[in-house]
């Protein structure tokens, strides 16, 4: 098992393309710069480990048109959350057979539209959703999303998605009764599952349900192992090929009969291919009793860094002053919203010499940033995106 502690600088020398690009340019607003070659390297690295599994890129992680187009060229398939995401993939050249409509919450008219476009694979976790699919995409293939124990992930998911074992088995029967084709199960191990070994207990639980379904006479053919593939945010993660390969070993040992395996990396595909260029707006200390400085950036929770909610992700910040003495600070966004604070409970180390106007690079921000950005909260423009 190979651990890597830096954004793969050794194995991915083109990561420096981003640094070279931004070093030569000025930006008049916060900007995400995406390196498509870095996406390609990550695709190949994951594919090398995933082997026979199909990669369905989770479009929601970064739906930039050029990112999708590049992944189409690379041979990726796609997992779409909405009509708009399906339309995007089709426009960029993906075949309908390569796109799954993986949101368990779909508008009836969007199901009908997708069916008309040739989409044949849909997710569901409830009888009511199967009914909508049966009416609007008669005969479609469906997989049932299960809730499995996710407590080893950095951010376990809520109970919003998935159903329990007994419900899932009943839904397979119900799907058949509705004229649908129930092909298998999906689950999600949890976002940012940093070590492949963390998958074992979830896969164990899933295998029992899989076997119960087969015992009940369901010819399951599809196992969708979802996302959870990690990105480097400062804590050690396994390198992508080794990680994916270990996950597939765990899968193959438990699901020998699964003809088709899908994986849905999103964050693990694109996060490390992006860097945000931001700027310090103000550095201040507002009371002689304050323990820490406040550092305010021109980007915050409402303009791209939504995943700092609850201080869940600790991004890596770099400045030209990183050689100077460092000290803790509370990091906040530029809006007049008191909730627009990035890190306060665990202050961030930043150079003591930092001042307004300094450039700040925020590493590995290619996933779940640009589309989380608001339209213009407080009049601040949304995160700009440049693709190289």
Residue ranges in 279-308 that form contacts with a copy of itself under rule CB under 8 A: 279, 281-289, 294, 296, 298, 302, 306
Least separation in angstroms between residue 3's CB and a copy of itself is 27
Rule CB under 8 A: is residue 332 a binding residue for a copy of itself?
A: yes
Q: d(Cα 229, Cα 379) in Å, to the nearest integer?
A: 35
Rule CB under 8 A: is residue 206 a binding residue for a copy of itself?
A: no
Phi then psi dihedrals of residue 351, to 5 deg: -60, 140
User: CA torsion, points 166, 167, 170, 172, in degrees to nearest 10?
Assistant: -110
Residue with tokens 């765990």: 250
> Which residues between 161 and 200 bind a copy of itself (CB under 8 A)?
161-164, 166-167, 191
Least separation in angstroms between residue 4's CB and a copy of itself is 27
Nearer to a copy of itself, 84 or 253 (CB): 84
Rule CB under 8 A: is residue 340 a binding residue for a copy of itself?
A: yes
Residue of the chain from 38, 47, 56, 60 that contacts a copy of itself (CB under 8 A): 60
Stretch of 66-74, 122-130, 229-237, 240-248 contacting a copy of itself, by CB under 8 A: 122-130
Nearer to a copy of itself, 41 or 99 (CB): 99
Least separation in angstroms between residue 233's CB and a copy of itself is 17
Q: d(Cα 324, Cα 317) in Å, to the nearest integer?
A: 14
Which two three-digit tokens encode residue 124? 């569901």
> Which residues between 70 and 99 bind a copy of itself (CB under 8 A)?
80-86, 88
Residue of the chain from 74, 126, 200, 207 that contacts a copy of itself (CB under 8 A): 126
Q: d(Cα 166, Cα 146) in Å, to the nearest integer?
A: 10
Site size for a copy of itself, by CB under 8 A?
A: 80
Nearer to a copy of itself, 30 or 240 (CB): 30
Rule CB under 8 A: is residue 356 a binding residue for a copy of itself?
A: yes
Nearer to a copy of itself, 111 or 261 (CB): 111
With beta carbons less than 8 A apart as the criterion, state whether 377 and 302 touch: yes
Q: d(Cα 111, Cα 108) in Å, to the nearest integer?
A: 5
Which two three-digit tokens encode residue 378? 């407080």
Least separation in angstroms between residue 83's CB and a copy of itself is 7
**Phi-psi sector, 379: left (phi>0), alpha (psi -120 to 50), beta:** left
Rule CB under 8 A: is residue 105 a binding residue for a copy of itself?
A: yes
Count of CB atoms situated within 10 Å of the CB of 28: 8
Q: Which residues, in sequence order, are bridge partners of residue 283?
A: 295
How many alpha carbons lie under 13 Å from residue 330 in its C-beta half-sphere? 16
Least separation in angstroms between residue 208's CB and a copy of itself is 16
> Which residues between 362 and 381 bind a copy of itself (CB under 8 A)?
370-381
Nearest to 36 by CA among 315, 250, 270, 253: 270
């Amino acid at each position: 098992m190979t651990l890597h502690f830096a954004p793969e600088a050794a194995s991915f020398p083109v990561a420096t393309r981003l640094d070279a690009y931004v070093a030569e340019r000025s930006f008049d607003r916060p900007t995400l710069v995406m390196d498509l070659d870095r996406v390609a390297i990550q695709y190949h690295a994951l594919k090398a480990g995933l082997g026979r599994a199909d990669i369905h890129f989770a479009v929601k992680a970064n739906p930039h048109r050029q990112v999708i187009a590049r992944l189409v060229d690379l041979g990726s398939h796609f997992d779409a959350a909405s009509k708009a995401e399906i339309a995007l993939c089709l426009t960029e050249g993906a075949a309908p057979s390569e796109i799954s409509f993986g949101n368990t919450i779909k508008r009836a008219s969007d199901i009908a539209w997708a069916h008309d476009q040739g989409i044949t694979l849909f997710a569901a976790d409830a009888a009511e959703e199967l009914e909508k699919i049966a009416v609007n995409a008669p005969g479609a293939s469906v997989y049932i999303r299960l809730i499995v124990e996710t407590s080893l992930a950095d951010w376990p998911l809520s109970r919003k998605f998935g159903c329990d074992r007994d419900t899932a088995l009943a839904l397979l029967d119900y799907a058949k009764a509705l004229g649908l084709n129930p092909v298998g199960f999906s689950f999600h191990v949890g976002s940012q599952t940093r070590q492949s070994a963390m998958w074992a207990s979830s896969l164990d639980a899933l295998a029992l349900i899989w076997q119960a379904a087969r015992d009940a006479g369901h010819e399951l053919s599809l196992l969708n192992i979802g996302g959870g593939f990690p990105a480097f945010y400062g804590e050690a993660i396994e390198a992508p090929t080794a990680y994916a390969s270990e996950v597939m070993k765990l899968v193959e040992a438990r699901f020998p009969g699964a003809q088709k395996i899908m994986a849905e990396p999103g964050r693990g595909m694109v996060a490390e291919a992006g860097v945000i260029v931001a700027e310090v707006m103000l550095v201040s200390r507002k009371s002689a009793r304050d323990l820490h400085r406040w550092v305010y950036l021109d980007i915050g929770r409402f303009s791209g860094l939504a995943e700092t909610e609850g201080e869940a992700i600790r991004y890596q910040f770099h400045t030209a002053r990183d050689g100077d003495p460092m000290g803790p600070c509370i990091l906040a966004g530029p809006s007049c919203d008191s909730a627009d604070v990035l890190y306060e409970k665990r202050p961030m180390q930043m150079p003591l010499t930092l001042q307004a106007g300094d450039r700040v690079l925020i590493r590995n921000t290619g996933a779940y940033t640009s589309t989380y950005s608001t339209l213009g909260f407080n009049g601040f423009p949304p995160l700009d995106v440049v693709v190289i």
